[in-house]
Structure 1
Amino acid sequence: MTASTPLVVICDESGNDGENLLSGTSTVYAHASVTLSLDEAAELIDDVRARTRSRAAELKSKTILEPRHQATAKWLLSHPSVEGQASVHLTHKKYFVVSKLFDSTAEELAHELGDDIYESGAALAGANLLFFLGPSNYGEGWDRLLMKFQHFMRAKDTDQAQTHLASLIDNMLQLLSYQDAIVRDVLGTVFAGINHLGSLSRLQLGEGLEERLRTMDPLISAVGAAVHFWASISGRPIELVHDDAKELTPAKIAWAKRALAHPEDVAPSRLGLASELVDVQLVDSKSDPRVQVADLIAGIARVVGESLTREQQHPLSQNLLPMVSGASLWPIRDNMDVAKAREAMLSQF
């Protein structure tokens, strides 16, 4: 096997509400990827089925998440076949919205001015400052702002997008009038780049494209993170096998391939961090035990993540932690400091 032989990476997800990030059924989205062989995965699924005494036609994560099967969940996460062959990308949905708002305004403005705030850590610090200080500085007004941004991003046509954008701007101006808000300057950089939302909206609406890009769906970024992770540690191109997902259309897959091949288009500091995605196969999880293992891990990860958002320690946290990706979209208080944020960004690569 050579470095040019693709590494087959198998994926599944849990907690996906599409672009309805703020009012869906889950506060956390989990995307699991494994590199197990068919035989390894089949043996694991057979063992889990025996341990849980499941008679379901397809073994799903809801079975292993039953409290009485917690020991089986721990056994799976710590199994030698899984060690080094599984990774989980977690997305804190509200933080994802805050990051998207900051990146599509303040970061775009900085990029236009020739400033790479990804490299400096200012992009990560800005998103974390808004996430942690926005609620305490602005109260319910902060949640209204995020919901207005989500409405704008999910607009069905240009007229609706313009209406939601006007409402978003009005809400932001109201918050910026709070003179004593500690995070006011950071929100000011968002407002300074607000005109860049127009180009993002056109991508969301699919103007001049084969189809809408749907950049608020966490699946897209999670797939990119999985490809980059496995390509980085293996030095090989990646062939993705994914549970059937309607958002993974040919057009979006082609877009992902281009973005992964040219990360420097996002920020100059990412030059040399290209990853090659050679193919994506969508399969029915019923026919692939590798996808079923990914489903079990993703389901566990989502539940653990939801506990963390409530600042509760889940019994499976320590078992899951070793396989959680450093590129996960998760708020971290230390990253409000630019220097620490820069260290965190560098550690991802």
Structure 2
Amino acid sequence: MPGTIACDESGSEGVNLIGANTDVFAHAGVRVDVGAAADCVGELRDRIGSPAVEYKANHLLRTKNRAALVWFLGPTGPLVGRAGVVLVDKALFVTGKVVDLLVDQVPYPDCLARRPDSRTPTLHHDGLRLHGPRWVEFLQSFTALLRTSQRRGPGVAPSEFFAQRDVLSSLARVPRYGGPLPAGPSPLASNGLEHPQPGSIRLEPPRIDPSPASEHLTELRDQLLADPSLVPPLDPLMPALVDTVTHWHPTTVIHDEQPSLTPARLATLLGPTPDIRFVDSRADPRVQLADFLAGVTRRLAEDALHHRGDPELTALLRPYLLPQSIWAAEL
């Protein structure tokens, strides 16, 4: 079906973004028909030769299967021009939400449409430079403040969060945006920051008054706690799905089963279109390809983020990265 894309993700841990199992999230979409996808999965099985019933990205990432991975990603492979990935540095994503919710104090649900601008990587870089590990702790406390589930431990109360004056004082230097930022491609590119043209972003003088900021985040926290069906603003899966759909303009999305993508949340994010169907990835070879691509992308990007990158493989990966990716590291 030409209007159909298949999607899967890798690295999704909900709003548990800092100090989690992975530092990177990837959401892949592929536009390949069922027959071609089945042929590709069969070709990978022949090239890899594993007796495993279900193939995953880690099969492709094994050193002995490098040739199969190069074929899969390469210019003669099955996905060129027919696949894309939204790649997210989780810490950078959270920093962007600090700008949205703490600096700009964007109300819910308007904050769901926001994407990072040039202030985000600057703030993240300066936060690490000025505060070191304390910056990471601050980001973790920000996610805990807005976390509605207690499965990962108790959250952080607003009074506790706003007691972190050592870090909060740094935010006073971040300019506030003077108007709504449109949704769409992020100005963060896979090979570094693309700064908006002069005058394209209207900034107001820096100011963070702790009282309104505390009231704003407390109100948002209360909203999320009162209605767990709301779209969590700190889950990167939600905007990644929106950005994937925006890129491909499909009529139908076949997505791996994802309990967090409830009908109510999908209606908030995407409205009545496109038609979204959830399947077990093992039952649809198109979703298997999306699973391979998302998993490979996340792993290669995470290695690059921690200065263990593979130049050949990351070069093959770059053409698949969508401009909506939230990524500022060298890749």
TM-score interval, normalised by the smaller of the two chains: 0.7 to 0.9
Tell me how far 1:191 sits from its aligned partner. Answer: 5.4
Q: Map of 1:226-237 to 2, 5 A cutoff?
A: 226-231=244-249, 237=250
Tell me how far 1:202 sits from its aligned partner. Answer: 3.4
1:62 matched residue in structure 2: 58
Q: Map of 1:66-215 to 2, 5 A cutoff?
A: 66-78=62-74, 79-108=76-105, 124-156=117-149, 164-171=157-164, 173-176=165-168, 184-186=172-174, 189=207, 194=213, 195-205=215-225, 207=226, 209=227, 211-215=229-233
Hey, what's the Cα distance between the residues in 1 that align with 2:2 and 2:268? 19
Tell me how far 1:14 sits from its aligned partner. Answer: 1.0
Q: Map of 1:174-323 to 2, 5 A cutoff?
A: 174-176=166-168, 184-186=172-174, 189=207, 194=213, 195-205=215-225, 207=226, 209=227, 211-231=229-249, 237-258=250-271, 277-314=273-310, 315-323=312-320
Say which SS state the counterpart of residue 108 (structure 1) adopts. coil
Tell me the matched-pair count. 288
Q: CA RMSD in A?
A: 2.6
Hey, what's the Cα distance between the residues in 1 that align with 2:44 and 2:251? 28
Name structure 2 gaps, 5 residues minimum.
Answer: 109-113, 176-205
Tell me how far 1:230 sits from its aligned partner. Answer: 0.7
Contact 1:6 1:239 in 2 (8 A): no
Say which SS state the counterpart of residue 104 (structure 2) adopts. helix
Tell me how far 1:164 sits from its aligned partner. Answer: 1.9
Match of 1:30 among 5, 17, 26: 26
Q: Map of 1:329-348 to 2, 5 A cutoff?
A: 329-331=326-328
Tell me how far 1:332 sits from its aligned partner. Answer: 5.7
Hey, what's the Cα distance between the residues in 1 that align with 2:294 and 2:45? 17
Tell me how far 1:156 sits from its aligned partner. Answer: 4.2
Hey, what's the Cα distance between the residues in 1 that align with 2:14 and 2:314? 25
Contact 1:31 1:90 in 2 (8 A): yes
Hey, what's the Cα distance between the residues in 1 that align with 2:283 and 2:231? 29
Tell me how far 1:139 sits from its aligned partner. Answer: 2.4
Higher helix share: 1
Hey, what's the Cα distance between the residues in 2 that align with 1:221 and 1:28? 15
Say which SS state the counterpart of residue 157 (structure 2) adopts. helix
TM-score by length of structure 2 reads 0.79
Contact 1:95 1:131 in 2 (8 A): yes
Contact 1:86 1:323 in 2 (8 A): yes
Hey, what's the Cα distance between the residues in 1 that align with 2:49 and 2:209? 56
Say which SS state the counterpart of residue 91 (structure 1) adopts. strand
Moved more, 146-155 or 291-300: 146-155
Name structure 1 gaps, 5 residues minimum.
Answer: 113-117, 232-236, 259-275, 334-349
* Cα 1:219–1:288 shift into 2, 3 Å: same
CA deviations 1:88-112 (Å, max 9, x no partner) are 1111011111111111122336x89
* Cα 1:55–1:134 shift into 2, 3 Å: same
Tell me how far 1:153 sits from its aligned partner. Answer: 1.3
Say which SS state the counterpart of residue 32 (structure 1) adopts. strand
Q: Map of 1:2-13 to 2, 5 A cutoff?
A: 7-13=3-9
Hey, what's the Cα distance between the residues in 1 that align with 2:139 and 2:207? 16
Tell me how far 1:303 sits from its aligned partner. Answer: 1.0
Tell me how far 1:77 sits from its aligned partner. Answer: 1.1
* Cα 1:191–1:295 shift into 2, 3 Å: farther
Letter in 2 for 1:186: V
Hey, what's the Cα distance between the residues in 2 that align with 1:226 and 1:203? 27
Contact 2:3 2:252 in 1 (8 A): yes
Say which SS state the counterpart of residue 163 (structure 2) adopts. helix
Tell me how far 1:228 sits from its aligned partner. Answer: 0.6
Letter in 1 for 2:244: A
- State the identity as a percent: 29
Contact 1:61 1:297 in 2 (8 A): yes
Say which SS state the counterpart of residue 234 (structure 2) adopts. coil
Tell me how far 1:293 sits from its aligned partner. Answer: 0.7
Hey, what's the Cα distance between the residues in 2 that align with 1:190 and 1:332? 28
Hey, what's the Cα distance between the residues in 1 that align with 2:238 and 2:132? 31
Match of 1:19 among 15, 20, 23: 15
